[in-house]
Structure formats: structure tokens, C-alpha cells
Structure 1
Amino acid sequence: MELLSILLQAADLSLGTLGAAIGVGLAALAAGFGIGKIGSSAMEGIARQPEAAGDIRMNMIISAALIEGASLFAIVVCGFIL
């Protein structure tokens, strides 16, 4: 902890700034992972039931948009802290 304090003082940063920067990175990574998981599950579902492709695709797009919106909100909040 002492080393972290020294490094933050040398860089003229605070723990809040460091936390916000880590939060932005985690939000972006989590959104990418979540949307990738949705896409892979949707392709697997379409491969198993091709007749339901339209419904699966629509639900995939809605879910991806909700994840993207939540991650964008997190990034904006962390950006205000920075």
C-alpha cells in the first residue's frame, strides 16, 4: 500500500482517479465478453434450430444493446470521475 501511495503521489494522481481508470477498463472488458458470449450462444442456438433464427437474432440484438447501454453508462460515470 505504501508503494502505491508513493507511485500515485509521483504521478500526481489519487486513488479515486486510479479506481475510475480501472473501472473504465473493467466495464469495456465486461461488455466485450458479454456481447461475445451472447453472439456465440445465439449462433449455437441458430445451428440447433434454424427455424427460430429470426427470434434468436432479435433477442440477441436486444440483449447486446442492453449490455452496451449499461457499459456505456459505467464508462461515462467513470469518465466524470476522471
Structure 2
Amino acid sequence: MDITTISFSGGIIIALGGLGPALGIGYIGAKAVEAIGRNPEASGKIMVNMLIAMAFAEAIAIYSLIFAF
């Protein structure tokens, strides 16, 4: 393989590896805000679960970044 193919594949890996988690984190955040709007008393419990779910989604983007290198 030449350097162009390797560079292109790394770009595709990070593009797709960043797109999925970005959409997932946006969806998680939107649903958490919606849930807090419906039940403000449970905001502490919802916020903790939201942050944990966002961390797991962000880990996928970090794995794709490492794999692209």
C-alpha cells in the first residue's frame, strides 16, 4: 500500500468513527433534557446516567482515533 491509501483510510476511519458517537451523544443529551423537562425532581439521577452514557459513546470515538493513527 502506498501512503495515499493509508492516509485516505485513516481519514475515513476517523470520519465514520466520529460521526456515530457525535450523533449518539446528541441523541442522549436531547433525551436527557426532555426527561428532565418532564420530571425535574429526577434531574440528579438522569444527569448521572446521561454522563455515563456519553462517556461510553465518546470512548468509541477515541478508539477510532487510536486505530486511525
User: C-alpha offsets along residues 27-70 of structure 1, whole Å, 9 cap, x if unaligned?
Assistant: 11212111111000000001111111101000000010111112
Tell me the residue number matched to 2:38.
48
Could you say what the CA RMSD is over the residues aligned between the two structures, in angstroms? 1.6
Number of positions where the alignment pairs a residue of Structure 1 with one of Structure 2: 68
Tell me the residue number matched to 1:13.
4
Tell me the residue number matched to 2:13.
23
Q: Which has the higher contact order (CA 8 A, sep 6+)?
A: 2
TM-score by structure 2 length?
0.85
Gaps of 5+ in 1: 1-8
Gaps of 5+ in 2: none
Q: Distance in 1 between matches of 2:60 and 2:13?
A: 13
Paired amino acid for 1:38 = I
Tell me the residue number matched to 1:33.
23
> Over alpha carbons, which structure has the higher Rg?
1
Give % identity: 32
